[in-house]
A = this chain, B = another copy of it.
Amino acid sequence: MASRSPQKKKRPPIRESVYEHLKAEILSGHLDPGRKLTEEHLAKTLGVSRTPIREALYKLDSEGLIKPRNKRGFIVSGDSRDEVEELFELRSILEGYALRVISQTISEEILGQLKGFIQNAEEALKKNKIEEVFKWNTQFHDSLHELIIKKARLYRLIVNIRKYVLRYRKDTLRYPDGGRRSVEDHKKILMALRLRDPDLCERIMREHIQEAREDALLSLFEKPSGFK
């Protein structure tokens, strides 16, 4: 144990920093859809060589965040209405099934935690603190996801998609009634979990996410004025 260095002196590879950076830029909306990404430009901007840039771009491509244009670099994927719809649809399938599984194993303790998150969100709602509502709602979902971490692929899929659509959800809550309905849904989910009824759980979660989908589509594609 003398030779084992106590602290890990591993620098993360540059390609990963680049990947995280670009991903954050895209998901935050800082890089608009349609934006052209060329290897050399990125390399110069970020001060690294093209090699790690390329590897990051390929990874982003495989996740669908950017699209290759034959030999003309990449562009940031636009979110067409259809694509957004499909993302929410996928979420509803996967998280619906996840809740079915969870309903069969969840403990009283976790149920209590979930109840707490809902109450917190409800209080924040009364005070009209939208950010807080969002925070507690996120906590609610994250806690559920943790319960299926053993199903690694399902978990990864859900978390990835969720990250991807997160940017749409914040707006959603701002819509009149959006926050309240969201909290109501979570109550229903909790109830279904308490009943430990797998079919009901799956159906309710699907409905919940489909509802979020409608709100997201509304806020995305039917903005009153200056969009994009």
Contacts and interface: CB of A to CB of B under 8 A. Distances in A.
A26 to B, nearest CB: 17
Interface in A79-113: 82-83, 86-87, 89-90, 93-94, 97
B94 A93 contact: yes
Contact of A153 (B90, B152, B153): B90
Interface residues of A, number: 22
A62 B150 CA distance: 18
Nearest to A56: B58
Interface string A48-65: 000000110011001110
Contact of A154 (B54, B90, B97, B151): B90
Protomer copies: 2
Contacts of A55: 54-55, 58
A97 B86 CA distance: 13
A152 B54 contact: no
A151 B86 contact: yes
A53 to B, nearest CB: 12
Contacts of A87: 153
A208 B97 CA distance: 17
Nearest to A150: B82
B54 A86 contact: no
A93 to B, nearest CB: 5
* 6 A-B pairs with the lowest CB-CB distances in the bound complex, closest first: A93-B97, A62-B62, A86-B151, A86-B153, A55-B58, A90-B153
A162 to B, nearest CB: 14
A90 B63 CA distance: 18
Contacts of A89: 151, 154
A89 B153 CA distance: 10
Contacts of A58: 55, 58-59
